[in-house]
Amino acid sequence: MLKSIVKSSVRSVYDTLTKIPNRLTITAGKMGMVEPYQPVYGEEVSSSQRLCQDRWNIMKQYLPKSDFSFMDIGSQIGYFTFQAAAEGAVSFGVERSKRACQVANAIKELRNMEHAAFLNMGVDSFTVKGLPKVDVLCCMSIYHHWVRESGFAEADKIFTELTAKTNALFFDTGQSNEENTDWTESLEFMNPDPIAWIENYLKEKQFTKVIQLGLFGTHLSHIPRMLFYAEK
């Protein structure tokens, strides 16, 4: 009885924080609510701005076959963190939005995902030093925000520290060929071929095997992003 009451209470938390019509996304963001960027893990029908299952279907083919650790940088409401936990990982999400972490932890309780955990922390060249070493690192759709907010030098320091903590990486980022975004100009160093630039950049970080997993669309531009898997 008590467990059902707790679950009902937790459900109301993430319903309140995540069930926002897409047309109100901007208003909700200004109000400090959670942008429905990812699907809610475990929901058969979940409105989100960017599809994730298509990427995960490819990514899971490259996961270790036995027990492993997985760290998701910019985990939002935990979709990829939970998916990795379901595949046998001890899974750790890092997210700077307090509200998003609240939603992720609510989903964790609802789904009994004991092997997933979340840290509410912004990642910079100082805080990144305290993050653990893991078997698999997921760093998707966040690198371009570091560049836009703090410049390439800072973004590179963060990424260098992160990639030193793993031997396997899933990576995508905003690209310089995306249109009508507020980071395109800050990514001009990727020109003329952003996909080639990213591949070479990953090799500079000591990844000896870099695989292009495919192009996946976003809700921000008609230009799709390349998803990479890299190993040392």
What is the per-residue pLDDT across 76-124, written as a single tens digit (0 to 9) for each?
999 999 999 999 999 999 999 999 999 999 999 999 999 999 999 999 9
Is 72:93 a contact under the CB 8 Å cutoff? yes
Instruction: Give 23's contacts (C-beta < 8 A, 6+ positions apart).
Output: none
With a cut of 50, say whether residue 133 has pLDDT above it: yes
Position 15 scores a pLDDT of: 54
pLDDT cut 70: percent of the chain above it: 82
Residue spans per domain, the chain: 49-231
Q: Are 65 and 94 in contact (CB under 8 A)?
A: no
Mean pLDDT across the chain = 86
Contact of 90 with 115, CB cutoff 8 Å: yes
How many whole angstroms separate alpha carbon 156 and alpha carbon 162? 10
Beta-sheet pairing, 136-140 with 209-216: unpaired
* pLDDT number for residue 38: 86
pLDDT at 76: 95
What pLDDT is attached to residue 27? Answer: 34
Beta carbons within 8 Å of 221's beta carbon, 6+ residues apart: 178, 179, 180, 181
User: How does pLDDT run across 141-177, given as a tens digit for each residue?
Assistant: 999 999 999 999 999 999 999 999 999 999 999 999 9
Q: Which CATH number fits domain 49-231: 3.40.50.150, 2.40.110.10, 3.40.50.11540, 3.30.930.10?
A: 3.40.50.150
> Band of the pLDDT at 31, cuts 50, 70, 90?
very low
CA atoms within 13 A on the CB side of 139: 24
Q: Which residues of 215-232 are buried (b: 16+ CB within 10 A; e: fewer)?
A: ebebebbebebbbbbbee
pLDDT tier for residue 50 given thresholds of 50, 70 and 90: low
**pLDDT range class, residue 217, cuts 50, 70, 90:** confident
User: Sorting pLDDT into bands at 50, 70 and 90, what band is 21?
Assistant: very low
